[in-house]
Structures are given as structure tokens and as C-alpha cells.
Amino acid sequence: MGNSSSRGVWRASLPVLVGVLGIGLAAFSLLLPGKPPQSAPTAPVRTVTATTPVEVSKAPAPTPSPEPLPPRVDCTQVPCVALTFDDGPSAYSEALLDKLDELGVKVTFFNTGQNTANRPESVKRQVESGHAVGGHSWNHVQLTTISPADACADANRTADAIKQASGVETYLVRPPYGSWNDAMLAACSDKTFILWDVDTEDWRTHDAAQIRDHAVGDSRAGSIVLMHDTVAESIEALPSIVAGLKERGFELVTVPELWNEPIAPGQSFYNGPRAG
């Protein structure tokens, strides 16, 4: 009898217990960590290329306006002398260039076209060392023995060889033997003939002391001194020539430097300005 009443009470209270358990489980679930929220998928990045070019504004590039290099010396105001060497390049050219480097002196070389073609590396070194270059005919022909047109063609051929060897265009011409005339100068109006007023006669004497005496003793302000690349004694005399001219107060320069401005073509010169 008692057991029957106990079972009845249990059955009656079971729904209540189930409800209480459900409420407890629900409350307990609230205490557990939840799943992290799902972020929205990132949209893919797309690169759009413009169908028409887009102009970007840029600042204008500065216009280069380099100042011209000032001349080493103003030979219109200071007494200068230009040493020149004809007939090269030769077997002596490298020794001559070595000596000039040692002395710190710049000169002017008047090269024949034929020798330039045979020794282009020497002509290139002349230019790279800061010396001036000009033509001395193709093979030392006396230009007055040929027509003015042929003389100009010869001068142009020689200038082309010098340019090919050194990259430098020259319009300076020293006519062999100093032989020229007005008809030739008129025909070669893009050239300037450079003669001399001091002949060291190295080609004749081959005497270092006499070469020195002519170069130093005969020079005046603006003088152009004639020597030869092919004369070993001129190289031997060079240190005493440089020392003697400097003792006399001369600045040693290239032929173009005798003038304080570019030499206009179509002219002939035996010397530069007689400054001082």
C-alpha cells in the first residue's frame, strides 16, 4: 500500500523535475564560451587599368646652363708662348707626351694624316692629355703645288683621320713648309692656317742647345714656336726650353689659348696677341 502511494507521488513530480533540469541546462549553456562571430568574406581586390593614358604633372626639368670653363690664362693680357710640334705622330711621340706630362705643359700637335692613321693611339693620347691638335697635310705635300680645291680636300682628309683617331674635330691647318696663298685660304674658308714666328731649326741642326736658344731667345709675347715630333733632340731640350721661357715670364699655352675666344676660320696667323 505504501509503495503504491510513493510511486504515485514520483510520477506526479517527474514533469516538474524535467522542467527544472531543462531550465538548469539552459542557464549552464549561457556560461559556456560561444563560437567567434563569422566575419563577412573579403571582397577580391581588382586592378583597373585605365583605357586612356593618365598624364602626370611633372615639374619642368631644369635647363642646363653650364658656365664655360674659364681659360687657364688670358693671353690678351698676359704674355704667352705656344710650343708646337709638327710631322707626328712618330716613334718619339710617347716619350714626348711623357715629358710634357712630367713638365705639366700643354702644346699643339700638327699631325699628318698618314701618320695619324698609322699611330691613332698617340693622337688619342694627345687629346686626352689636354693638348690641341691640327692637321699638317696627309703626307707632307707642299699644298701650293696642287690646286686650291685639292689642297682643301687634303686638309679635310687629314682632319677626318684626326677625328677618327681622337673624336675631335679640328679646323687648324699648318701648311707644310709654311707654304700657302690667298687662293688656298679662300677655297678652304672653314680652316684656319697656323704658321709660326719662331723656328727652332731642330729639323736642321739636331742640336739640343741650339734648339733651346732659338725657342727661348727668339720668342716674344704671342709667339708660336716651331718644333718637330720627329726630332729626338727637341724632346731632350724641352725641360730647358720650358724653364727658360718661364724665367722670361711667359705662360705656356696651346695655339687656341693664345686668343681669349674661339679662333674664327678663314684666317692665317703667324703669332697670337702681343700682350704685355
**What does the angle CA 204 – CA 205 – CA 210 come to, to the nearest 5 degrees?**
130
Residue with cell 556560461: 31
pLDDT above 90: percentage of residues in the chain: 71
Q: Where exactly are the structural domains of the chain? A: 80-269
Helices 232-247 and 93-103: crossing angle in degrees, nearest 10, is 20
CA 194 to CA 256: how far, in whole Å?
10
Please check whether residue 253 is in contact with residue 106, taking contact to mean a CB–CB distance below 8 angstroms. Answer: yes
Give the pLDDT of residue 276.
65
Please check whether residue 173 is in contact with residue 191, taking contact to mean a CB–CB distance below 8 angstroms. Answer: yes
Q: Is 230 helix (H, G, I), strand (E, B) or coil?
A: coil
Q: Is 22 helix (H, G, I), strand (E, B) or coil?
A: helix
Q: Which three cell numbers stand for residue 250?
A: 711667359
Handedness of CA 250, 251, 256, 257 (dihedral sign): negative
Q: Which CATH number fits domain 80-269: 3.40.50.1100, 3.20.20.370, 3.40.228.10, 1.20.140.150?
A: 3.20.20.370
Helices 93-103 and 120-128: crossing angle in degrees, nearest 10, is 10
Q: Is 136 a catalytic residue?
A: no
* Span 205-252, pLDDT tens digits: 999 999 999 999 999 999 999 999 999 999 999 999 999 999 999 999
CA 147 to CA 139: how far, in whole Å?
16
Secondary element (H or E) of residue 241: helix 232-247
* Span 125-146, pLDDT tens digits: 999 999 999 999 999 999 999 9
| Number of Cβ atoms within 10 Å of the Cβ of 19 | 10
Catalytic residue among 86, 87, 154, 202: 86
The pTM for the full model equals 0.75
Q: Is 140 a catalytic residue?
A: no
Nearest to 137 by CA among 153, 118, 158: 158
* Span 36-60, pLDDT tens digits: 433 333 333 332 323 333 333 333 3
Catalytic residue among 131, 136, 214, 228: 228
Burial status of residue 240 (CB atoms within 10 A of its CB: 0-12, 13-18, 19 or more): middle
